Structure 1
Amino acid sequence: MNLYRSARTVAGASGTDAIDWASAAEAAKAATEPGSLALESGEQAAYAQDVRAARTAVRSVSGVEFDVPETVEIQNRHHWIDANVATFERVMGALEPHTDTFPGIARTINTGTMTVLLAFLGRNVLGQYDPLLLAEAPEGDHALYFVRPNILEAAQTLEVDPERFRRWIAFHEVTHAAEFGAAPWLSDHLEDRMEHGISNLSAGRFDREAFRELDAAMTVVEGYAELLMDHAFDDEYADLRRKLDERRQGRGPLQQLFRRLLGLGLKQRQYERGKNFFEHVVEAHDLETASLVWESPEYLPSHDELDRPGLWLRRVDR
């Protein structure tokens, strides 16, 4: 880790875009230890086995035919930063056609902010199912990442068996693959809501409804994943979830501030709110009814229905 090199890279940000993406990626990696990818004997095969087991179990409980992405990577932190800087560039790039040329000082600040974001997430993300939203890629070209150093570090901090913890992460990410497999329209729907909201925001208008719809859709994505994990995971998991929640809540003031600034508190709320919605639906009916959310965009619960599942059940005639 070289904080001096990171700061110099940010200070030297150049170009005509709002953010110098190459500098942001380089600076984030300079500020972040990559972590080891020295896999132990059989470890790579164990990751593959976890993914296959998760695919079989999730298919069984959900009734959804899907496959895992062809791209399944075991990464270090630098690999994750490289893989995700393009995602951030695609999302933020939607703003730039609507903005004037950024002066150098603003570009430096923006590049520094993105550096902090990438470095923080690179040190904390455990696994990721990436639907490659807004990417010009062939249909179905998604990716699955596991950040090995973060998984091992988190397992040690939480005092849990690293193999069981790794398997739990694999099940969580594969449930996301099931969602996008069950709903081929989901990528387009999320992209449309993102582009609509960003376009209005860049034009000086805040489209509250577009962001509410995007938040509702992401809450469904996270909540349904939690539901499937509860039904599909082939080991005890309550202690893993409890310890992870305690770890998030027990972090120091600086990390808590970063989480709020980066919107990670919103993501936790999406987990909890979505899980509560689906638990109510399954308790009232069954998993098959919960899976109706993937029939079409019209079947997604609204922002209000997420807090009042009975309204959604009546609307879908259940």
Structure 2
Amino acid sequence: MTSFGGTASQGMVDWNLAVATATRLVRPGPEISREEARAVVAELRRHAKVSEEHVRAFTRMGTGDVHDTPVLVVDRPGWVRANVAGFRELLRPLLDKMQERRGPGAGNAVLGAVGGKVTGVELGMLLSFLSSRVLGQYETFAPAAPDLPAGTAPGGGGRLLLVAPNIVHVERELDVDPHDFRLWVCLHEETHRTQFTAVPWLRDHLEGEIQAFLAETDVDPMTFLERVRDAAQSLAGGRPEGEEEDGGRSLVELVQSPAQREILGRLTAVMSLLEGHADFVMDGVGPEVVPSVAEIREKFQQRRAKGASRLDLALRKLLGLDAKLRQYRDGERFVRAVVDEVGMDGFNRVWTSPNTLPTKAEISDPAGWVARVHRTTEP
């Protein structure tokens, strides 16, 4: 098992406890024989390989060069370990600043001893919830570990995760062809890998935006915890007078400065583009290689819309997962509208530089993006 420790950020979050908590609480996967499990893993690896060619041909992105970003077929605890490693890497600068701001004193020592464990448990609980819902993930900011290899490309590699028990669970729940569904999922995740391997500046740009967002966070630990507490109370219906307009926002959105909201707008646009593009590609490639793609998409959309229990819906709202569902929908509409108007090559101008990425407003106004990026100099 990967161990996470040794830096100042360890004091703010007990990462090992987060992993242990999530692993202990994670729900068991679907019942499956050892032979069937091996067959699922082997098929997912084959589909991931085949998906590379399909995605490149459809998107006209990337080359035939072999990428060193590995494909890992994992279980739910494996997904947890990979994501804790990614969170720790991204949050390190912020947590180190918060650690430095504590200063000496018995009270701060107690905060350090207890706070890190409390945060570790809370993070573990959230990860256990999420670990049964993710089908696949391209980890952009993945640090390499002995049991979790990552790419070694300049500027940082990545890895593609396929969560086998969750894929099996959903294909059974939807009652769809399992072989078609597994390939369909792989097409989506391979599109994300292609986005980052074919667009060299995209990873650094996204990391820069995330770090700028975190840099705007108040680094005083007590103030930060008070803002989180106030946000949670607001979502629970106890928001302060005069702040009713915030009732529809998630916890992530509420813990923000005005500068963070500007950055979040740009991040929302980029994530909508990436997720919508992946949905567009998986359905666009589908008819040629996934015979039952129409049935899969219809049933999958119904599952997304239906949601689950009231607790599940509340957690989705709290974590901002409902916003992610909107990103799939709005982003796919943007990509489809642009491709319909200017073709795939015209759409691919979106990858030219950060300046050609759509704004949050343009995600809802594809014609506005086309007018700006395809502005002609002809009289």
TM bucket (normalised to shorter chain) is: 0.7 to 0.9
Following TM superposition, the consecutive aligned residue runs of length 4 or more in structure 1 with deviations greater than 6 angstroms are 134-137
Aligned to 1:73: 72
1:213 corresponds in structure 2 to 266
* Structure 1 position 45, deviation (Å): 3.5
Q: Deviations over 1:6-44 (max 9, x none)?
A: xxxxxxxxx962211100100110111454693536444
Please report the TM-score for the alignment, with normalisation by the length of structure 2.
0.74
**Do structure 1's residue 225 and structure 2's residue 278 form an aligned pair?**
yes
Taking the aligned partners of 1:69 and 1:258, their CA distance within structure 2 comes to 36
The structure with the larger Rg is 2
Q: CA deviation at 1:168?
A: 0.8
Cα RMSD of the aligned pairs, angstroms, is 2.4
Q: Which residue of 1 aligns with 2:34?
A: 38
Pairing partner for 1:246 from 284, 298, 302: 302
CA distance in structure 2 between the aligned counterparts of 1:165 and 1:137, rounded to whole angstroms: 27
Do the aligned partners of 1:197 and 1:206 also contact (CA within 8 Å) in 2?
no
Aligned partner of 2:193: which letter? A
Q: Is the 8 A contact 1:37 1:148 kept in 2?
A: no
Distance in 2 separating the partners of 1:39 and 1:77: 19
Shift of 1:97: 2.8
Give the TM-score of the pair, scaled to structure 1: 0.87
Q: Aligned residues, how many? A: 304
Q: Is the 8 A contact 2:48 2:71 kept in 1?
A: no
Q: How many Å separate the matches in 2 of 1:270 and 1:254?
A: 22
User: After alignment, is 236-245 or 72-81 more displaced?
Assistant: 236-245
- Return the alpha-carbon distance in structure 2 between the equivalents of residues 143 and 78 of structure 1: 16
Distance 2:336 2:83 in 1: 32
Percent of pairs with identical residues: 32
- Are positions 1:312 and 2:369 aligned together? yes
**1:164-175 matched pairs, under 5 angstroms:** 164-175=180-191
Paired with 2:258 and 2:362, the residues of 1 have a C-alpha distance of: 23
Equivalent residue runs for 1:1-318 within 5 Å = 17-33=11-27, 35=29, 38-40=34-36, 42-66=39-63, 67=66, 69-99=68-98, 100-101=101-102, 103=111, 104-132=113-141, 138-139=152-153, 141-203=157-219, 205-207=257-259, 208-233=261-286, 234-235=289-290, 236-248=292-304, 249-317=306-374
Q: Distance in 1 between matches of 2:311 and 2:283?
A: 32
TM-superposed deviation, 1:69 = 4.7
Paired AA for residue 56 in structure 1: E
CA distance in 2: counterparts of 1:47 and 1:137, whole angstroms: 19
- In 1, the alpha carbon distance for the partners of 2:160 and 2:143 equals 17
* One-letter amino acid matched to 1:65: G
Structure 2 runs not aligned, ≥5 long: 1-8, 103-107, 145-149, 225-256
Structure-1 residue corresponding to 2:3: none
**1:134 offset after TM fit, Å?**
8.0
Once the two structures are TM-superposed, the CA of residue 46 in structure 1 deviates from its matched residue by 2.0
Deviations 1:86-141 (A, max 9, x none): 11112332321332346144334322220111101111111111122688973262
2:34 aligned partner, one-letter code: A
